[in-house]
Amino acid sequence: MVDPRPPRVLAIASGGGHWEQLMTLRPAFEGAEVTYATTLPGLAEQAGETARIVPDCNRNEKWNAVRSAAAIGWLLLRLRPDAIVTTGALPGFFAIALGRRLGARTMWIDSVANADEMSLAGRLARRHAHRWLSQWPAVAEASGAEYAGSVL
């Protein structure tokens, strides 16, 4: 039996360029029930969207990383997305890693800013993402990621 409801997608990215790249992917989510999540209040409204806000973090802020992972875990438990798409950074990694354990299909798209090598969060995401992409052919080839073009 075919599920009549549209797929639930969590599209998550940190602020700045990660968010801008995620916003360029909006046409790909047509027909899905999309929940956006980001780290900066007001950012989604500038793009004409609404979003859940999760704590920002980086590898040097251990406590903020724990807070972010917990908030994202709670969000995933409430939303139960069928798929998760992220353009990074660390909060996107947490969504991919936790979401896969909850049965979601996952996609990591490394930021176009990483023209020389896969980002640290991207390297961590490799073993958790169903699809692992770089926006640079040379980075994809060197890392073993998939290249399917650039979102910008």
Please give the chain's pLDDT, 152 residues, in tens.
Answer: 677 899 999 999 999 999 999 999 999 999 999 999 999 999 999 999 999 999 999 989 999 999 999 999 999 999 999 999 999 999 999 999 999 999 999 999 999 888 999 999 999 999 999 999 999 999 999 999 999 998 87
CA distances from 113 to 12, 29, 39, 54, 60 (A): 17, 23, 18, 22, 20
Q: Hey, where are the domains in the chain?
A: 8-147
pLDDT at position 151 is: 84
Number of helices and strands in the chain (H, E) = 6, 7
How is domain 8-147 classified at the architecture level of CATH?
Answer: 3-Layer(aba) Sandwich (3.40)
pLDDT at position 4 is: 82
Residues 6+ apart with CB under 8 A from 79: 8, 10, 35
pLDDT at position 42 is: 95
